[in-house]
Amino acid sequence: MRRGPRTPPPLTQSGKRWAGVLLACMVTLFALDQIFPPPLERVRDVSPVVLDHNGEWLMAFTTRQGTWRLEARLDEIDPEFQRRLIAIEDERFWFHPGFDPIALTRASVSYVRAGRVTQGGSTITMQLARLLEPRPRTIPSKLIEIIRAMQIERRLSKREILAAYLTMAPYGGNLEGVRAASRAYFQRDPQWLDDAEMALLVALPQAPEARRPDRHPVAARAARDRVLGMFVSIGAINERRAQEGRETAIPPRAPFPYSAPHAAEALVAANRGEGLIRSSLNATLQRDLESLARRRVVGLERDTQIAMLAVELDSRAVRARIGGAGRERAGGYIDMTRAIRSPGSALKPFLYAIAFDEGIAAPETLVRDAPRRFGGYLPENFDRRFHGDVSLEDALRHSLNLPAVATLERIGAGRFHASLTRAGAHVRLPRRAVSEPGLALALGGVGMTLEDLVQLYAALGDEGRARPLVTDEVGEFAFTRRFVRPETAERVLDILATSPHPAGRIPAQVAQGAPQVAFKTGTSYGFRDAWALGVSNGYAIGVWVGRPDGAPRPGATGRSEALPILFEAFDLLGVPAEPAPRQREHENVAPALTRFENGEREALSILFPPANAEVLVLDYGADARGLSLSARGGRGPLTWYAEGARVESEPTSGRAIWRPAAPGFYDVTVVDADGERAQVRVRIRDRG
């Protein structure tokens, strides 16, 4: 007789009650697990580490708690170390649910027999739970750790649990995690470790403060040697290798690498939450230029700093950024590569490049270097000398001011400002310039950063292509724009490469193997900023020297202060490759561009002192400071007279300096080489 399917007997009242209780317990446990999850977010609070573009360590930062906690990645940790650690600390790690009943039973029996703790029963997961929520080592705490361990096992894989433990395990002092310990004691990541190193890293978390190698080397050695014996017992090594490990010295703790602090801080601020941040920097070049800055700043005033920026032309990658020569000096925490300063004459190459590129002028175009008033603006050369008719290329080589202002007047200050901005430079106008920039732009009467200037010089070095700088490995160009034509950029670089070299520097044409540097210097008003920028050997490099507080440094020029550092920086790049020959396209100059001024000579006139002016003079006689006389037009040389008495020119500056004998009215006369005359009447008065 066939039997039908058996139906389960109906639950009794008592069975229903117990089933309800069990279900309620399960729901309660699930709810508690969700309401009180383990604080796993602490594992993600790691020390940011900034690497160079090759993966070499530049600088790391502590966590908010002041600890060095480096993220542990199992693929980058010696697998044999992982195997030995698990064999000693938690042999059933891959199989238990967070706690090991066998190990706990064995530890409990040992505790009852000895009356004290003789062996641990905690699993790696339980140790992670204790690291996440430190508690006194009591039986209730152990029960909480077991519960937390099961919660962790529900949320993380075994590999993730092992990585979290190796991230947070204590190694003495403020070192947490196997990578921080390996870096501190072995100066490398734990990708490959010898037997003694593995034993030390296994022993330290068991008693991190009592076994600190830098404070308790004897205890550290004893613990390490004991673990080497365990390695023998688990069959990882033989006794001979263990003895070799025991003969190894206990290493001291070394400081972490400290390089590119300004760049590293900026990258960490822009990539918050990231453990590893790869930058565009080159660690070797960064360290070389940092050393150069520290060496050069020794001979300068106490409050002076040096900043440098080196950019690879092809990629526009910033390969070195030195924000200052040292944080022990005034302003050392300010990144001077990003500080807004006055560029002085450093903008002149771009002024001429635009004039050449747009057919406004040519390198051979002549311009008169003589006193001249541009509306209300009366510029003068840095050395207060004037040179008569000069070509624009010679005006650029010798950084003459009057030709630069005359060129900017032809281009238009607004047009020049727009070109620089389109090339990616941030040109900050003075606050008083409410609308259009003025002619002072030619001589650096604006605010710019070293970053801005190096970006512009990189455009010259890259055949006139303007692109933004790249500061991290994944950066992409936001734009690529034509600044000037390739032949224009090449011609400007040729002019800069043949500029007069500083004393003691042998020109590249003479020195074998030396890089040919196309360079330009700049000195801001009041000697507040000294600049030198150059292009050579596939790089654009900029140097700034000055005081971060903007105080003047009388006599400190870009040529004397920054240019020697620039040449030494290029020397550190090594011997340049032989440049490929290029077809020149700029030899022919249009006849219409041979001279700025028209064919008729400007009439002779006196610029200073103006006619019928009252001039305040504080001292009189032969030792007085005197008044510098200036005129425009005519044909030199010019001869000056005051009340019929000839005014002699100073032998050093070539300027006519008039020193009135007393207050009163004077006739001031100038006569050019053709006998043309100009005369004004002025009143000299003192404070009375």
Active site members: 89, 345
Q: Tell me the C-alpha distance between 502 and 570, whole Å.
A: 15
3-state DSSP assignment of residue 68: strand
Tokens of 450: 């070293």
Q: How many CB atoms are located within 10 Å of the residue 597 CB?
A: 12
Q: Tell me the C-alpha distance between 496 and 392, whole Å.
A: 12
Q: Tell me the C-alpha distance between 157 and 168, whole Å.
A: 17
Q: Tell me the C-alpha distance between 93 and 122, whole Å.
A: 11
What's CA 656's distance to the chain center, in Å? 47
In degrees rounded to 5, what are phi and psi of residue 78? -45, 115
**Whose structure tokens read 């607004």?**
414
Helix axes 283-297, 563-572, angle to 10 degrees: 150
Tokens of 180: 């921080």
φ/ψ region of 500 (left if φ > 0, alpha if ψ in -120 to 50, else beta) reads beta
3-state DSSP assignment of residue 256: coil
φ/ψ region of 634 (left if φ > 0, alpha if ψ in -120 to 50, else beta) reads left
Task: With beta carbons less than 8 A apart as the criterion, state whether 502 and 563 touch.
Answer: yes
Q: Tell me the C-alpha distance between 36 and 148, whole Å.
A: 10
φ/ψ region of 173 (left if φ > 0, alpha if ψ in -120 to 50, else beta) reads left
What is the maximal distance between C-alpha atoms in the chain?
151
